[in-house]
Amino acid sequence: MTRIVHLSDLHFGYHRADLVAPLLDRINGAGADLVVVTGDLTHRARAAQFRMARDFLSRIAPPVMAVAGNHDVPLYNLPVRLLAPYCGYRRAVSPALAPLRQVGPVCVLGLNSVDPLAVQKGRIRRADLRRLTAGLDGGAMNVVALHHPLEHLPAVDKDLPRNATQALARIERAGAQVVLSGHLHVWATDAMLEQTAHPGLLQIQAGTALCARPSDRQNEFAVLQFDGPVIHIERHIAPMAEAGFRPPIHERFSRQGGIWRAHQPPETPIVPGATETAFSTA
């Protein structure tokens, strides 16, 4: 049994300061073997924001691995954006843009989906994809972690990353079983599984763990428990109007014959309307 905390979109600099301590308490009390952060650790990639992110990560007890998000490269400082887009991220978070961690029977492989030449839209580079698929472990549950989702629900009005469709097919064909992402600030897992043409991949799209943008309606993170072919998910949700996290709600998925199935009713937002408002930014 392996437990992984999945966090995304912390947005330090535009974050809920009141939620930092409750979030750290929940993370450190989760009995996790690993914490995976799928990007947007800062809001504008400023030095002070990276310091806040680094301080937060240093207070997490289990090992942490992270990938960058579009907000982790400078938006307005064009020389840095073009010449050294990841300098702040590498200094504060991780020198590696595509880290890999093995925790028991689970192998987590990072994939950098950020395109410093674009504002929001991501990009999957073919060379990165080649490296990632070469690193898959045939005997493990392979989990790919990146910032941008590789598939969107119909309500989303943003573009997918360049090469997303090909990447999704290739990742599934190569034998990965799970994809973790963030970026849209809206949880989607069950709904994604219902619509996807790639049911061999469980795509877990996290909400935002700390962003203070009111239209996000709620902050949340998830604990994923890997138990053979079964993944139990605990969603820890803090509505914007509340000071802390509610008791977790549970979802369960299992994989048989190379296909994932859900074992609970489709998820509903704990705050009415929460899944309808946040698609257009992030």
Instruction: List interacting residues with Fe ion (CB under 5 A).
Output: 9, 40, 69-70, 183, 282
Question: And the tokens for 38?
Answer: 């799928």
Which residue has tokens 């898959």?
136
For Fe ion, the closer CB: 67 or 231:
67
The least CB distance from residue 184 to Fe ion, in Å, is: 8
The least CB distance from residue 66 to Fe ion, in Å, is: 13
Q: Which residue type occupies 171? A: I
The least CB distance from residue 40 to Fe ion, in Å, is: 4
Q: Which residue type occupies 243? A: A
Contact yes or no for 206/38 (Cβ under 8 A): yes
The least CB distance from residue 134 to Fe ion, in Å, is: 27
The least CB distance from residue 199 to Fe ion, in Å, is: 26
45: left (phi over 0), alpha (psi -120 to 50) or beta: left
3-state helix, strand, coil in the chain (%, to 5): 25, 25, 50
For Fe ion, the closer CB: 3 or 88:
88
Q: Taking the CB of residue 253, how many other CB atoms lie within 10 A of it?
A: 21
For Fe ion, the closer CB: 6 or 183:
183
The least CB distance from residue 144 to Fe ion, in Å, is: 17
For Fe ion, the closer CB: 40 or 234:
40
For Fe ion, the closer CB: 69 or 161:
69
For Fe ion, the closer CB: 74 or 140:
74
How far apart (Å, rounded) are the C-alpha atoms in residues 101 and 219?
A: 26
Question: And the tokens for 122?
Answer: 């991501």
Nearest to 30 by CA among 251, 252, 236: 236
Contact yes or no for 16/219 (Cβ under 8 A): yes
